[in-house]
Chain A
């Protein structure tokens, strides 16, 4: 559905008209998919097309094109592989399965990763639902049959979350689901409690197999999609390997081979995927990201070896492959002559190691923003971005530590423009000895309507022990429209 809307700009049916996609089911023409507007009018996937057309006059009908859908899905999966995680496969007909093991640290954790992913897809015009669970089957069910569009199931809780879902969520053929329904087995929870032998005799091995896969009792390997022309180095072992030192040695060998390939093409790696194929058929992925294109074997090997501890060799690894998923041109450069001045130390190696340890979003520099509102006057920029040169205007003292949310404080103060005599913060009472202010900061009415009249009056106060605080009053002290006249503590001076 979204593929259609994105692809055809001019030729697409108008967005206002309800739209359905029609396909053939045997000899019947049925509705395969409906958009939001059509759904609001009572149309559902699976109803006969003639009925839908009778219900809604002026219905836009587009014939289904399963092959184009599959191609679009594969393209999307490749895009995800470059950006999110190394092991990505198409979960036909309408899903993509991602093994995020070893890659979520690059995105700041599982929940932020999913939020960002769904957000990026929404910007691109694709409505997506996402779930993370212990197994492919569980994630498949949770993404499709739970209300929340983004869901992270904590390890071990998938069973409880799956229980109330309908049996269709188990990826069973529709005929089989109908059969289970006839027996009164409507949800997965019912199925879990059933004796297995009669179930298998009646329906074949499928229900129990799918149930085990969803609950993580049976292994279900994901066969990862590969880019058509990867820059890749592989080595396979006659004897499976498991020891960390052996893995490290082979990583070094793979990195050397990959760097030779990169040098041939004049490229440097920005993102590396190391896939360790275990003898039990599962894949242990490791992904590292780099701030700048690199093809220095020592640096790449060091980054990969830092993450060896995340590889679970299990019964042993038989194949290791290393691929540069994202590569950018990297030209040789002449190093600066040391005669005139000392060369700037190259920090990109350090940034890469830190980013791969704590996540790329957690390593940054601050840069000024032209805003008088303190919390909006800084933004985070990548650590290797060029110097911004300018700082903040220095006429007014600013605290070294700023609270994320101003703490409400209890005060006694004269209105309209006096600092408080005392205030109470975190249970301690501070007597104000000296104070500077007010520094009046107006709301950004040119950007936000809600701040049309808002005012904050900031004071720098020193208590009897010499500690200095940055406190403000919401409002100008006279007009109630400018703020609540409550006091807040916003920062502590060094």
Chain B
């Protein structure tokens, strides 16, 4: 999954746009995933810190929860996790790499309060990541979160998730830097009866200054790192794992 070489003019233009967008701030830091084909296709070589990222799941969004927990686990410092109603299970989060001592949970009651609490967390600046379970994320709210994240350099993850009765607005335009969709795949069969390591199809649906792609990876281990499936690691098969989407 090598990225197409960009023309120098395009690189220069992107750098100029980035300077305009960021003001005089330094180039944003990134959080690499540690999987070469994956990181190569992300602008900057990883998930940009100090930005808003959207992650949606399928169904109840449990795979997305694990994905988000794994990303937060690899940041430094505390994590603020805001939900409208609490259903996170701390032992499960710990197995994705987030020990209970690092996570402060906020049970806000409704979406508006979740957004307000996330913004408070982002503006504080002493946290590693701020996560919020949000059903509806309007453009204005997402812009506020993104600006707050940019000011403090804290990673902001909006986990787009809604109950069986409600409907979310995932797919509507937001100010998010990247937009992901994570869905579960059947795990590789084991030689004995039992359930193997979970596999996810991770789709980058939209990225500013980047292109979308999709890839199959193994779920987070106990330290929040994703794994490259054994049947794809090494050799040309790895490149075939990520099917390139039409640019745009």
Contact = CB atoms under 8 A, between A and B. Distances in A.
A436 B194 CA distance: 5
Given A465-B186, A494-B65, A357 B87 contact: no
A434 interface: yes
A377 B91 contact: yes
Nearest to A460: B195
Contacts of B190: 434
A368 interface: yes
A466 B184 contact: yes
A351 interface: yes
Nearest to A435: B195
Interface string B95-131: 1100111011111110001001100110011110000
Contacts of A201: none
A368 B62 contact: no
B67 interface: yes
Interface string B52-70: 0000000110111111010
Contact of A394 (B64, B69, B187, B222): B222
B92 A494 contact: yes
Contacts of B220: 494
Interface string A377-404: 1101001000111011010011111111
A491 B93 CA distance: 13
Nearest to A368: B100
Given A354-B120, A402-B92, A466 B195 contact: no
A365 B104 contact: yes
A392 B120 CA distance: 30
A391 B59 CA distance: 29
B100 A434 contact: no
A388 B100 contact: yes
Given A347-B126, A494-B65, A358 B90 contact: no
Nearest to A367: B100
A398 B90 CA distance: 9
A358 B108 contact: yes
A468 B198 contact: yes
Contact of A358 (B66, B100, B109): B109
B104 A353 contact: no
A364 B108 CA distance: 11
A110 to B, nearest CB: 14
A58 to B, nearest CB: 54
A426 B194 contact: no
Contacts of A383: 104
Contacts of A415: none
Pick from B127, B164, B194 the residue with the most CB of A within 10 Å.
B194
Pick from B89, B105, B116, B193 the residue with the most CB of A within 10 Å.
B89
Nearest to A459: B195
A311 interface: no
Contact of B187 (A347, A389, A404, A434): A434
B107 A358 contact: yes
B228 to A, nearest CB: 17
Contacts of A357: 113, 116-117, 120
Contacts of B90: 366, 368, 378, 392
Contacts of A466: 183-187, 198-199
Contact of B88 (A400, A460, A464, A468): A400
Nearest to B220: A494
Contact of B62 (A364, A380, A398, A494): A494
B202 interface: no
A345 interface: yes
B127 A362 contact: no
A350 B126 contact: yes
Pick from B113, B184, B189 the residue with the most CB of A within 10 Å.
B184
Contacts of A153: none
Pick from B64, B95, B96, B222 the residue with the most CB of A within 10 Å.
B95
Interface residues of B, number: 58
B137 interface: no
A95 interface: no
Contacts of B164: 426
B144 to A, nearest CB: 15
A398 B89 contact: yes
Contact of A467 (B59, B93, B196): B59
Given A350-B126, A394-B94, A467 B100 contact: no
B229 interface: no
A347 B62 contact: no
Interface string A340-372: 000001110111011001100011111110000
A181 B47 CA distance: 78
A380 to B, nearest CB: 8
A332 B101 CA distance: 27
Contacts of B120: 350, 353-354, 357
B104 to A, nearest CB: 5
Contacts of B222: 394
Contacts of A462: 186-187, 195
A400 B99 contact: no
A365 B105 contact: yes
A491 B124 contact: no
B141 to A, nearest CB: 16
A408 to B, nearest CB: 16
A468 B193 CA distance: 15
B194 A492 contact: no
Given A366-B103, A491-B92, 7 more contacts: A388-B101, A402-B89, A433-B186, A435-B194, A462-B186, A462-B187, A462-B195
Closest 7 CB pairs of A and B: A494-B66, A345-B126, A366-B90, A402-B89, A466-B184, A492-B62, A400-B92
Interface of A: 345-347, 349-351, 353-354, 357-358, 362-368, 374, 377-378, 380, 383, 387-389, 391-392, 394, 397-404, 426, 433-436, 460-462, 464-468, 491-494
14 contacts: A350-B126, A365-B103, A367-B100, A368-B100, A380-B105, A399-B92, A400-B93, A434-B196, A436-B194, A436-B195, A464-B186, A491-B92, A493-B66, A494-B67
Interface of B: 59-60, 62-67, 69, 77-78, 80, 87-96, 99-101, 103-109, 113, 116-117, 120-121, 124-127, 164, 183-187, 189-190, 193-196, 198-199, 219-220, 222
